[in-house]
Copies of this chain bind each other. A is one copy, B any other.
C-alpha cells in the first residue's frame, strides 16, 4: 500500500485536504502525494505547509516536481496548464 496515496487539491478549503492527508497517513502508510494544477498549485503548497507546521511535524517534503498538461477546451482548441506533485513522507 506504500506510495499509492494520491490526493488531488482543488476547490475545497485547505483544511479539508489537511484532514485527507492525516487520514491517508494513518497506520502503515508512510507516503502521500499531493497533486494540483493551475491556480490550485498555490493551495497545494499551503496544504503541505499547514500539515507540516501545525499537525504532523514529523512529515517531510520528499520530492516536488512540476510539469505541463495539455487540455482540450470546449471550443476545440488546446491550452497548456501547469501542475505540481508534492510527495510528503513520514520520517
Using CB atoms and an 8 Å cutoff, list the residues of chain A in contact with chain B: 38-42, 45-46, 48-50, 53, 61, 64-68, 80, 82-84, 86
Contact = CB atoms under 8 A, between A and B. Distances in A.
Nearest to A69: B49
B41 A45 contact: yes
Given A64-B66, A68-B53, A45 B84 contact: yes
23 contacts: A39-B39, A39-B42, A40-B42, A41-B41, A41-B45, A42-B42, A42-B82, A45-B66, A45-B82, A45-B83, A45-B84, A46-B82, A48-B66, A48-B82, A49-B68, A49-B80, A50-B80, A53-B80, A61-B66, A64-B64, A64-B65, A64-B66, A66-B86
> Chain copies in the assembly?
2
Contacts of A46: 82
A17 B64 CA distance: 21
A49 B67 contact: yes
